[in-house]
A and B are shown apart, each in its own frame.
Chain A
Amino acid sequence: MSSGLNTIAWIVWIILIPLIGAMLCFMWPRRGNLLGMISAIATVVVVVALYLQLLDQGVIRYAVGGWRAPLGIDLYADGLSVLMLLMSALVGLGVSFYARDYFKQDDENPAGFWPLWLLMWTGLNALFLAADIFNLYVTLELLGLSAVALIALAGSKDALAGAMRYLLVSLLGSLCYLLGVALLYHAHGTVDIQLLGSVVTVHPVSYAALGLMIAAMVLKSALFPLHFWLPLAHASAPTPVSALLSAVVVKASFYLLLRLWFDVFPAVTLGLGLLFGVLGAAAILWGSVQALRQTRLKLLVAYSTVAQLGYLFIPFALLSPIAWQGGVYFMLSHALAKAAMFMAAGNILKFGGHDRIADLDRVAQRLPITMTAFCLAGVSLMGLPPSGGFIAKWLLLEAALTFEQWLWAAVIIVGGLLAAGYVFKVVGYAFTQADHSHDARPVALTMEWAALGLAVGAITLGLIAPYPMALLAIGDPLAIREVSP
């Protein structure tokens, strides 16, 4: 069986299937839900097949069309890529189930959603599998443009403004990145990531390129203080889109940053690590405080994303290689938990017609599945056991304390407490009676269960940690073997 599996180039199908699905959905909008779901499930199946293939063969490198680099496009899959693919696939599946009923219930335009979402998925998959920096530029653009269009689907003034700002930011980032690519190509004659890693040396051109590309990724990953575009964009988008943006899309640029950091520029990184750590800490503290101040639920969740993204940058400042495992695990758990939380928030919004936190009015009793999803997602965000977030937090703390980096440990702990603050603010109001009740509109069961499914996934991540860790080790993308004895 495994030999049969290995002969198929799953790596190519991962990109092709959502693309074909997008085109089909565009041509037959009436069948959007059906075609969309089929494409989603097919994509997940193919990702799992690639995962199995990776376990069997180890790192996979594939030249599209048989043409090798530098003229051809190479696809490359190691543990980290497949982990990101699995993450997007799981979240994508959950969001697809959710979106089926979300757009059915409202008059919002479903015809635009499926093609755009599948295009975005194509971009994501291609990004995680790209082996050269120019291809990454193309996938980044695909991702960005489809994300902008998805946000604008909501049609409100806030959504349009948020989409516009996101577009401007995204294009700015991409252009800076492209400039970096141009410089690197000129200096070293290749755009292949693996090759660049061995030739990039300390040189002004390298620094310039490094600066540009990293700045671009930091902008797209909304690291403090370049996070200004995120809250409104994520909060005013349609709920399934918010979930996708916060859970997966921001992680894509972070993934790119990791690849740059470890594979392209390992010789050149200077004291940037410390700067990232400081900015990450600032993000955690500032984002959490802002989240606490919000009166509307979706904005609270969006600011929570700003805060949680800060955690991803802490490993840059830590000396222990375990920190990277913690960072990646954090990315994974946050994806599931944040998607679940946004979906839960969307359900509450649909239910009451508003998302004012103080008027939640016994939602705990009236939407129990949704509230359970919210609470479980919150448990992961707070880093309480048992959850993926807890494992990530443990690893980060262990990394910090092994080398006695007290300040970072304190930041991690305080961040968890602040997260508890804003999560339980919502939960507390969900249990209490509001002053005036609102009429309730029904929420489709699939939407509730989709949220709960992803939330349970985030919790399960806390109990199965050895498996993702083993996957991450394939190809050693985070240079852990080199550093640890």
Chain B
Amino acid sequence: MNAWLPLLVLFSSLLPGLIIFFLKEEQSRIRIVLNMAGALIKLILVGSMVWGVYHGQSYEARLPLLPGLELALEADALALLFIVLSSLLWLVTTVYAIGYLEDSPNRSRFFGFFSLCVTATVGVALSDNLITFLLFYELLTLSTYPLIVHRGTEVARKAARLYLVYTLVGGALLLLATVWLYTLAGTLSFTPQGFLSSLDEQHYGALTIVFVLLIIGFGVKAAIAPLHGWLPKAMVAPAPVSALLHAVAVVKAGAFGIVRVVHDVFGVTFASSLGLLTPLAVVASVTILYGSVRALYQDDLKRRLAYSTVSQVSYIILGTTIVGPIAAIGGIVHLVHQGLMKITLFFCAGNLAETLGIHKISEMDGVGRRMPWTMAAFTLGAFGMIGVPPLAGFISKWYLGIGALEVGQGWVIGVLIGSSLLNAAYFLPILHAAWFKAPPSSWPQERSFGRKETAWALLLPPVITALLVLAAGLLANATFSPLQWATFIISLEFSP
């Protein structure tokens, strides 16, 4: 069972995906059943994996690729964090996507690639060495491309092409770095506290270049400035895709990669001794501020959220660069928190677009009266982003700040405060307009749902994730909260 469970988790989304490709458009019932079944099964399997690991079991699966090189999946603590997040959010997004894409063309193709995308994300989470990570990372690129180009317009084709240029170049740099690292170190297995500290000093120059290449490669997906250019353009994709990309799959995979590199390839202390972490911290901070500033100037709602993502994901990276456990916890837990908050926001944006035809913030006056539940969820998400206690976002920022102070990097607090202020500056006006301004006489393109605010499938997911944002913050001290988990993960990294 121990080798099968990781594989089963992968197949729980791969098989439904492959089957869905062959379904005709009209067979929506079977498609929905397959999607939901896959998502639920995955969640159950992941749950049992968590339970098993909690009781001391280990789950790993290996396949030899070449002499000395193998594909390896293993469920360690960090992997589980990411995979629980992915599975949970996949379930919610599946419900949302079913509602959103009702009567759209090419749904079989969409859900097929959607499932492949999740498979790739789960693979990224479970990877136990750099080459497996690379494999699933590239698979992620390949499976998200059709989702961006889905609508088949010229705009979509160009946005997808831009996405490819960025991600494939990043992938090429990753490959180069990985092979190089392999020739230097002879292994690529993720090891807590890294496996490079035993190398000769003469290689330090090469290791620095490898680090830079790896960060660039992962940074493209993680949307670090100046590699973030593809993200706002990719908003042309349907809302469930934006939700998935920004909360779970692509962006998080990039950030996750950076966490793995710093913690399990180089090791935080070794990386810091090579002088690699401070420049990364600076880049992350610049991205945090830059993303927020750009967000201020966007009128298109999804674009503003896109830039907000650019900014927020760099919190995770910032957390990893600070050589102290508390800040590291803050970074890793933000992986979960940002996912929950951002997906809520994107779901709401999708609702506004689908139900009322609203795409711009200037069209959002008074929409709180018309769609109270959606806007309530949005409000929770927005407050979380700003860092209002007791929501999830506050927890992450608090840990980051305290952790930075603890190791004497007080300037980080300045970045945190600055970005929180900017967050407030671009979220509060939206909330104000939505709740307190008078609605226009008619919405751009209204669809009626009877007495309901909008379809159930569109309404439930954001409400659920918003409540989770609240819970993750309020219940942060409970045993299974993301915070406690992150604490556990970091304890492995910093133990002697």
Contacts and interface: CB of A to CB of B under 8 A. Distances in A.
Per the CB under 8 Å rule, do A and B touch in the complex? yes
Interface stretch (B8-16, B72-80, B175-183, B470-478): B175-183
Contact of B152 (A362, A420, A427, A463): A362
Nearest to A419: B168
Contacts of A168: none
A413 B217 CA distance: 13
A208 B175 CA distance: 42
A409 B154 CA distance: 35
Contacts of A72: none
B175 A432 contact: no
Interface string A457-482: 00000110110010000000000000
B149, B150, B169 interface centre (most CB from chain A within 10 Å):
B149
Interface string B88-108: 000000000000000000100
Contact of A413 (B109, B134, B153, B175): B175
Interface in B21-49: 21
Contacts of B156: 431-432
B138 A420 contact: no
A417 B165 CA distance: 9
Interface in A375-419: 375, 379, 382, 384-386, 391, 393-395, 397-398, 401-402, 409, 413, 416-417
A368 B21 contact: yes
B1 interface: no
Nearest to B155: A432
Contacts of A382: 168
A198 interface: no
Contact of B160 (A365, A401, A428): A428
B63 A463 contact: yes
Contacts of B21: 368
A429 interface: yes
A397 B168 contact: no
Interface in A360-379: 362, 364-365, 368, 375, 379
B171 to A, nearest CB: 7
Nearest to A394: B179
Given A391-B65, A398-B183, A413 B157 contact: no
B67 interface: yes
Contacts of A395: 66
A424 B135 contact: no
Interface string B50-74: 0000000000000111110101000
A424 B66 contact: no
Contacts of B425: none
Nearest to B65: A465
A327 to B, nearest CB: 15
B67 A463 contact: no
Given A401-B180, A401-B183, A432-B156, A469 B67 contact: yes
A269 interface: no
A384 B106 contact: no
Nearest to B109: A365
A433 interface: yes
B123 to A, nearest CB: 11
Contact of A432 (B63, B139, B153, B168): B153
B69, B146, B172 interface centre (most CB from chain A within 10 Å):
B172
B161 interface: yes
A162 to B, nearest CB: 32
A357 B176 CA distance: 32
B422 to A, nearest CB: 36
Nearest to B146: A431
B149 A386 contact: no
B135 A386 contact: yes
B353 interface: no
B65 A413 contact: no
Contacts of B173: 413
B66 A385 contact: no
A416 B172 contact: yes
A385 B176 contact: no
B65 A393 contact: no
B283 interface: no
Contacts of A465: 65-66
Nearest to B105: A365
B161 A424 contact: yes
A431 B67 CA distance: 39
Nearest to A416: B172
Contacts of B293: none
A424 B150 CA distance: 14
Given A385-B135, A416-B172, A466-B67, A432 B179 contact: no
B164 interface: yes
A362 B161 CA distance: 16
B7 interface: no
B138 A424 contact: no
B460 interface: no
B172 A413 contact: yes
Contact of A431 (B149, B172, B180): B149
A385 B139 contact: yes
Contacts of A417: 168-169, 172
Contacts of B146: 364, 431
A424 B168 CA distance: 11
B142 interface: yes
B138 to A, nearest CB: 5
A177 to B, nearest CB: 35
A362 to B, nearest CB: 6
Interface string B167-204: 01101110110011011000000000000000000000
A463 B21 CA distance: 23
Contacts of A424: 145, 161, 164
A428 B149 contact: yes
B405 to A, nearest CB: 42
Interface of A: 362, 364-365, 368, 375, 379, 382, 384-386, 391, 393-395, 397-398, 401-402, 409, 413, 416-417, 420, 424, 427-429, 431-433, 462-463, 465-466, 469
Interface of B: 21, 63-67, 69, 71, 106, 109, 131, 134-135, 138-139, 142, 145-146, 149-150, 152-154, 156-157, 160-161, 164, 168-169, 171-173, 175-176, 179-180, 182-183
10 contacts: A368-B21, A384-B142, A391-B66, A398-B183, A428-B149, A428-B160, A429-B157, A431-B160, A432-B156, A466-B67
Which 10 pairs show the lowest CB-CB distances between chains A and B? A385-B135, A397-B179, A431-B149, A402-B183, A401-B183, A428-B157, A432-B157, A413-B172, A420-B168, A384-B138
Given A365-B106, A416-B172, 11 more contacts: A385-B134, A386-B139, A391-B65, A391-B66, A394-B179, A402-B183, A409-B179, A413-B176, A428-B149, A431-B157, A466-B67
